[in-house]
């Protein structure tokens, strides 16, 4: 296809995005101005839940620049609970063309803050934990610490009711999250089966498996329960999931938003890392007992070009396959205060 044909074929999509941006202004921005007499402030991070959690410290500081303003948070609809719980905004939207809103209609806004991760920008890479990066982006006081997510009474009551229904003991609860996620982030199912068996042999029999049957990037997916763990698939809303993880004695999971919830609820956690690198997401104290692959191409998500973390791995995902059950079990033992067996 010629350059002229490419340009022509992209024009309808561009016009559609501009129409969507204008529609957003008419639907969301102008009503705020007419109702309050002030221009609103927009925060935006239209990606995964963990990223949204990492924007909280920066957004809390940015709110201080706009006392009395109406705040809008633009994020993936599935994760609208997070900015609401954090008190960042009462009005949540999910507009893919939000960048055009900020660019062309910024004069209608009191502030427009789109949080950008180093890996989002061609020619750049992440250099520090995401919380610190978002703060530094807007010249705010820098910390690497995750914000504290609140546990609501309603969320706690529902989570405890579900755990009781599943015969899981909240006082000895271990939660695992094998996925679903991008295939290159997942640890082999047989390893999860062995890990659960080893934990049960050490007396930890109250093990629940978190997860969803519909993933934001792929839609509906098949999620198989891990033998020995009680399925909590699709059992919780985000609010209830926060409460359940806050209750747990230990959380074990792959790189995901749920691991960020564990950090934000100060729940002891063991993360399992291959194509991504925990030093670009978590403070040192949190990632101390994370298990990271030692293959040469570990962290390809953070390399340029981004090797094959989306399209498939030419190395058969060795980064995750080479992480042993023994290594993860040892990390769990450290968190649980167990002696080696």
Going by DSSP bridges, is the β-strand pair 219-220/214-215 parallel, antiparallel, or unpaired? antiparallel
- Domains 16-137 and 153-332 equal at CATH topology level: yes
Domain positions in the chain: 16-137, 153-332
Residue 223 has pLDDT above 70, yes or no: yes
pLDDT in tens, 94-116: 999 999 999 999 999 999 999 99
Residue 72 has pLDDT above 90, yes or no: yes
CATH of domain 16-137: 3.40.50
Residue percentage of the chain with pLDDT more than 90:
82
pTM: 0.93
CATH of domain 153-332: 3.40.50.2000
* Region of residue 70 (left: phi > 0; alpha: psi -120 to 50; beta: else): beta
Confidence of residue 252 (pLDDT cuts 50, 70, 90): very high
The string over 261-285, giving b where at least 16 C-beta atoms fall within 10 Å of a residue's C-beta and e elsewhere, is bbbbbebbbbbbbbbbbbbbbbbee
Question: What is the edge-to-edge ordering of all strands in the sheet holding 230-231?
Answer: 230-231, 207-209, 174-177, 250-254, 269-273, 291-292
Say what the pLDDT of residue 7 is: 46
Residue 195 has pLDDT above 80, yes or no: yes
CB 151 within 8 A of CB 242: yes
Burial class of residue 42 (count of CB atoms within 10 Å of its CB; 0-12, 13-18, 19+): buried
Q: What is the mean pLDDT of the chain?
A: 92
Of 249, 273, 306, nearest to 117 by C-alpha is: 306
């Amino acid at each position: 296809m010629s350059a002229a044909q490419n340009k022509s074929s992209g024009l309808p999509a561009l016009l559609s995005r501009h129409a969507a941006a204008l529609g957003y202004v008419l639907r969301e921005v102008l009503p705020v101005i007419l109702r309050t007499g002030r221009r609103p402030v927009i925060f935006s991070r239209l990606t995964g839940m963990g990223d949204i959690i990492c924007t909280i410290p920066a957004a809390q500081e940015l709110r201080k620049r706009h006392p009395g303003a109406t705040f809008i948070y633009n994020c993936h609809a599935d994760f609208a609970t997070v900015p609401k719980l954090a008190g960042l905004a009462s009005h949540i939207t999910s507009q893919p063309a939000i960048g055009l809103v900020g660019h062309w209609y910024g004069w209608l806004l009191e502030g427009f803050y789109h949080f950008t991760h180093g890996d989002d920008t061609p020619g750049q890479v992440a250099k520090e934990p995401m919380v610190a990066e978002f703060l530094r982006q807007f010249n705010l006081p820098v910390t690497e610490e995750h914000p504290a997510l609140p546990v609501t009474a309603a969320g706690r009551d529902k989570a405890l009711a579900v755990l009781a229904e599943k015969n899981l003991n909240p006082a000895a609860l271990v939660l695992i999250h094998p996925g679903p996620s991008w295939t290159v982030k997942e640890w082999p199912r047989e390893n999860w089966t062995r890990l659960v068996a080893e934990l049960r042999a050490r007396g930890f029999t109250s093990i629940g498996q978190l997860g969803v049957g519909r993933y934001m990037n792929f839609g509906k997916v098949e999620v198989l329960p891990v033998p020995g763990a009680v399925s909590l698939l699709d059992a919780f809303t985000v609010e209830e999931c926060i409460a359940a993880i806050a209750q747990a004695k230990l959380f074990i999971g792959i790189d995901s938003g749920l691991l960020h919830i564990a950090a934000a609820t100060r729940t002891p956690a063991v993360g399992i890392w291959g194509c991504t690198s925990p030093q670009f997401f978590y403070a040192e104290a949190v990632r101390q007992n994370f298990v990271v692959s030692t293959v040469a191409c570990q962290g390809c998500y953070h390399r340029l070009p981004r090797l094959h973390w989306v399209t498939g791995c030419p190395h058969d995902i060795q980064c995750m396959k080479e992480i042993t059950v023994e290594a993860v079990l040892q990390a769990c033992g450290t968190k649980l205060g167990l002696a080696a067996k």
